[in-house]
A = this chain, B = another copy of it.
Amino acid sequence: PPAWGTAAPRPPGLPLAPCRAFSNNKILVELDESSGVATMKFKSPPVNSLSLDFITELCISLEKLENNRECRGVILTSAVPNIFSSGLDITEMCGKSMEHYAEFWRAVQEMWLRLYGSNMVTVAAVNGSSPAGGCLIALSCDYRIMVQNPKFIIGLNEAQLGIVAPFWFKDTFVNTVGHRVAERSLQLGSLHSASEAHKFGLVDELVPEEKLQEKAAAVMAQWLALPDHARQLTKSMMRKAVLDRLVAHREEDIQNFVNFISKESIQKSLRMYMEMLKKKK
């Protein structure tokens, strides 16, 4: 049972340049020190797929911000038009060694643990399609704003590829949309339009593309108006059970993934799927 909490005053910190950017290869991070709000822009064309490199950068960026007393909130968005993130990079799961699969899966877990358990306020500004792992990133934030574009879709569509979302994807989804909606959507591997996703609470708000940044900043300001410590303890109280469940079963979950993904039947499916994607281009 969680304790009662109080707002820990934020130590002033050292004076810094008003806006630093620590660029890296796949994610652009900008911190506005006047507001304490960072923006993470996914810039890994063509589709911001979650490769091991991408995920590692995401984890490191989150850790840096988490440890930076100047930073209280993060907005996650995409610098690539029409796509937020296409989800886990299939090339990481195909034709590689067991060791590679294990390393990759541990990174995916790490990303979720850091994001879903972040002490910062996290806002997903979903400015493009967001299937599978992309949807998971959005689901792991505190608030989801999506651009109202009929072409943008979002959902956990793993079942469509013949695979199954892991239990902690499912737990995150159930915590957001409830058991029944999750049960149906996961079994059908549904990709929902922005409007549909909004209707059942998969996203919290829809905006025209040109208003997205402004709206994300306004939502962030609303959440940052709360004392950090009380908000953080409350967030932890809500999410701890589900986070703890992965922590308790982490190695088992990696083993499951490695065993599954290295099956010849699965490797074949994934190769066929990649062929199909190539032809699409």
Give the B-binding residues of A (Cβ under 8 A): 1-9, 142-143, 158-168, 170, 174-180, 182-184, 186-189, 201, 204, 222-223, 226-227, 229-231, 233-235, 237-239, 245, 249, 252-253, 256-257, 259-261, 263, 265-266, 269
Contact = CB atoms under 8 A, between A and B. Distances in A.
Nearest to A182: B238
A233 to B, nearest CB: 5
Q: Which 3 A-B pairs have the closest CB atoms?
A: A4-B260, A7-B162, A5-B164
Contacts of A178: 178-180
A158 to B, nearest CB: 7
Number of copies: 3
A163 B1 contact: no
Contacts of A257: 4
A231 B237 CA distance: 31
Given A158-B230, A178-B179, A180-B177, A187 B142 contact: yes
A188 B223 contact: yes
Nearest to A9: B265
Most buried by B among A178, A230, A265: A230
B159 A230 contact: yes
